[in-house]
């Protein structure tokens, strides 16, 4: 007798969109939120509004409606902020339909100095609210060389263009996977702009990466829909007098001046009186060794430092890039695995070196997280230099470090991503 099939479960009907989605509202914009959106309220509910500025009154369309908050896109500016300007990227202008606005320059409609003030406010709010840390009154977001002169354009040395089904390339629209055709890339360096294939159709491409290293010619690398790409190409980046080799598609700071800026900031942040070149110094999430080299260049060839990175190709390059220091080594490992049990497994001599260590921490945008922080503080390093590309993630980690007795002794912020909402923080923390 054949087996009886179980009865089919009735399929649930697709959830209907919230009735508020698509509604147009007049909103008074009162503040800035993390993530490049502004804050308004409608009948007591928080509404996060894109393409607005605090102090403005706008007409906006609701795009998402949750129980605790809504999201909306600005359709028309009814009362403009004095800090509003023509968008630096015509294809991202508020005059276009929101679904057709290029993403990646969400602050481009705001005067550059006021962008930095809004980023400062986001960082201060995150640190105050989440880590109970009050930055100093003179805490500001610092400009990088040349950005004021170019109004925050011409800085990107890496650009990824997406390809649509018909082969058109361009950026995604904000908060979507719709490819937007564009005629220019104002945030890109001149070298990138010269090779950008904006009018070219790519029949089988999924993306086109444009890379302009500081040494050598700019490259265009096409990845096809099946995921295949040309063989990896090594490139050279220069920071001061030092060269760094890496894969053309490997991670490197995007702003043309970011690597040099962060190198100097890390060197400045480390307290020389607390630094021991023989200690178990660490560079976590080390990439190709940029920040480990910054430490080595400041404290000499005998500096002992271990760079830890999960991407094996980057670790191979880091070993080459750090070969000047006899005590430097590069390890391929996930950071959370590397630090797990580090304090327990150490000999008495090594525990002493851990306690004398300087740790450079440069995690991804999500932050280091509790598992890494908990294990790291068990080694009791003398000082931690934390490089953060997300103020909220940093504030979460700073709260964990604070609970373990590590307080912020210095804090700087850098505008590594002009005309976007992103901001870079760099802090030194030591035990209280």
pLDDT tens for 68-124 read: 999 999 999 999 999 999 999 999 999 999 999 999 999 999 999 999 999 999 999
Which residues are marked as active site?
Answer: 389
Contact 191, 214 (CB under 8 A): no
pLDDT bucket at 1, cuts 50 / 70 / 90: very low
Average model confidence (pLDDT) across the chain: 94
Calculate the CA 399 to chain-centre distance.
20
State yes or no: pLDDT of 182 exceeds 90.
yes
pLDDT for 432 equals: 86
Q: Is the dihedral of CA 221, 226, 231, 237 positive or negative?
A: positive
Report d(CA 206, CA 169) in Å as an integer.
9
Query: Six-digit token pair at 323?
Result: 């070969």
pLDDT for 227 equals: 85
Residue 384's DSSP bridge partners are: 359, 429
User: DSSP labels for 280-324?
Assistant: -EEEET-TTSHHHHHHHHHH-TT-EEEEEES-HHHHHHHHHHTTT
Calculate the CA 275 to chain-centre distance.
28
State yes or no: pLDDT of 304 exceeds 50.
yes
Percentage of the chain lying above the pLDDT 70 cut: 96
Q: Looking at beta carbons, which pairs linking 28-35 to residues 24 or more positions away fall under 8 Å?
A: 28/56, 28/57, 29/53, 29/54, 29/55, 29/56, 29/57, 29/58, 30/54, 30/55, 31/121, 32/118, 32/121, 32/122, 33/122, 34/122, 34/125, 34/126, 34/391, 34/392, 34/421, 35/421
State yes or no: pLDDT of 154 exceeds 80.
yes
pLDDT tens for 343-380 read: 999 999 999 999 999 999 999 999 999 999 999 999 99
Check whether 285 is labelled as a binding-site residue: yes
CATH superfamily, region 125-147+239-245+254-431: Vaccinia Virus protein VP39 (3.40.50.150)
CA angle 106, 109, 111 (to 5 degrees): 115
Calculate the CA 284 to chain-centre distance.
16
Sheet of strand 424-431: strand arrangement: 141-142, 406-414, 424-431, 383-388, 358-361, 281-284, 304-309, 327-332
Contact 377, 357 (CB under 8 A): no
Residue 307's DSSP bridge partners are: 283, 330
Q: Report the candidate in 124, 174, 27, 107 with the shortest Cα–Cα distance to residue 411.
A: 124
Check whether 362 is labelled as a binding-site residue: yes
CATH superfamily, region 24-84: Nucleic acid-binding proteins (2.40.50.140)
Number of Cβ within 10 Å of residue 373's Cβ equals: 24
State yes or no: pLDDT of 13 exceeds 70.
no
State yes or no: pLDDT of 4 exceeds 70.
no
SS3 of residue 362 by DSSP: coil
pLDDT for 327 equals: 94
State yes or no: pLDDT of 246 exceeds 80.
yes
Q: Sort 9 into a burial class: Cβ within 10 Å, 0-12 / 13-18 / 19+.
A: exposed
Query: Six-digit token pair at 241?
Result: 């007098």
Residue 423's DSSP bridge partners are: none
Q: Give CATH 2.40.50.140 domain extents, the chain.
A: 24-84
pLDDT bucket at 6, cuts 50 / 70 / 90: very low
pLDDT tens for 252-272 read: 999 999 999 999 999 999 999
pLDDT tens for 196-208 read: 999 999 989 999 9
Q: Looking at beta carbons, which pairs linking 372-376 to residues 24 or more positions away fall under 8 Å?
A: 372/284, 372/335, 372/336, 372/339, 373/397, 373/400, 373/401, 373/404, 374/400, 374/404, 375/336, 375/339, 375/340, 375/341, 375/342, 375/343, 376/284, 376/339, 376/342
Q: Report the candidate in 271, 380, 250 with the shortest Cα–Cα distance to residue 318.
A: 250
pLDDT for 230 equals: 86
CA distance to 119, 303, 309, 352, per residue, from 278 (Å)? 38, 6, 21, 10
pLDDT for 215 equals: 93
Q: Report the candidate in 22, 25, 23, 20 with the shortest Cα–Cα distance to residue 40.
A: 25
Buried b (16+ CB within 10 A) or exposed e, 161-183: bbbbeeebbbbbbbbeebbbebe
Give the β-pairing of 424-431 and 158-163: unpaired
Query: Six-digit token pair at 304?
Result: 């002992």
Q: Give CATH 3.40.50.150 domain extents, the chain.
A: 125-147+239-245+254-431
């Amino acid at each position: 007798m054949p087996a009886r099939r179980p009865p089919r479960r009735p399929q649930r009907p697709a959830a209907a969109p919230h009735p508020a989605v698509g509604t147009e509202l007049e909103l008074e914009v009162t503040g800035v939120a993390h993530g490049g959106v502004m804050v308004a309220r409608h009948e007591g509910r928080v509404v996060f509004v894109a393409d607005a500025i605090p102090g403005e009154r706008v007409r906006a369309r609701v795009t998402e409606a949750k129980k605790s908050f809504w999201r909306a896109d600005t359709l028309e500016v009814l009362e403009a902020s004095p800090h509003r300007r023509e968008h630096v990227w015509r294809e991202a202008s508020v005059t276009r339909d929101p679904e057709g606005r290029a993403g990646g320059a969400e602050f481009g409609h705001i005067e550059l100095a006021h962008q930095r003030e809004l980023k400062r406010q986001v960082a201060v709010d995150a640190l105050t609210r989440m880590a109970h840390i009050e930055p100093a009154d003179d805490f500001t977001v610092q400009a990088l060389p040349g950005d004021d002169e170019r109004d925050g354009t011409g800085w990107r040395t890496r650009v990824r263009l997406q390809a649509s089904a018909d082969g058109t390339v361009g950026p995604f629209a904000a908060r979507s996977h719709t490819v937007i055709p564009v005629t220019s890339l104002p945030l890109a360096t001149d070298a990138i702009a010269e090779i950008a294939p904006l009018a070219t159709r790519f029949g089988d491409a999924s993306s086109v990466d444009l890379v302009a290293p500081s040494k050598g010619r700019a490259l265009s690398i096409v990845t096809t829909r099946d995921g295949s790409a040309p063989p990896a190409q090594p490139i050279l980046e220069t920071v001061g007098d030092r060269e760094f080799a890496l894969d053309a598609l490997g991670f490197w700071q995007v702003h043309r001046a970011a690597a040099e800026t962060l190198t100097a900031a890390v060197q400045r942040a480390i307290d020389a009186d607390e630094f021991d070149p023989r200690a178990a110094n660490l560079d976590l999430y080390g990439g190709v060794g940029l920040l480990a080299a910054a430490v080595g260049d400041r404290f000499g060839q005998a500096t002992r430092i271990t760079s830890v990175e999960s991407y094996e190709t980057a670790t191979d390059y880091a070993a080459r890039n750090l070969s000047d220091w006899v005590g430097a080594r590069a390890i391929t490992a996930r950071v959370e695995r590397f630090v797990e049990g580090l304090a327990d497994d150490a000999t008495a001599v090594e525990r002493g070196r851990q306690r004398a260590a300087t740790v450079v921490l440069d995690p991804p945008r999500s932050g280091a997280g509790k598992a890494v922080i908990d294990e790291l503080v068990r080694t009791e390093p003398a000082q931690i230099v934390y490089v953060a590309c997300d103020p909220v993630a940093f504030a979460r980690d700073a709260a964990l470090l604070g609970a373990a007795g590590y307080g912020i002794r210095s804090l700087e912020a850098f505008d590594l991503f002009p005309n976007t909402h992103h901001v870079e923080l760099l802090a030194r923390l030591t035990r209280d």
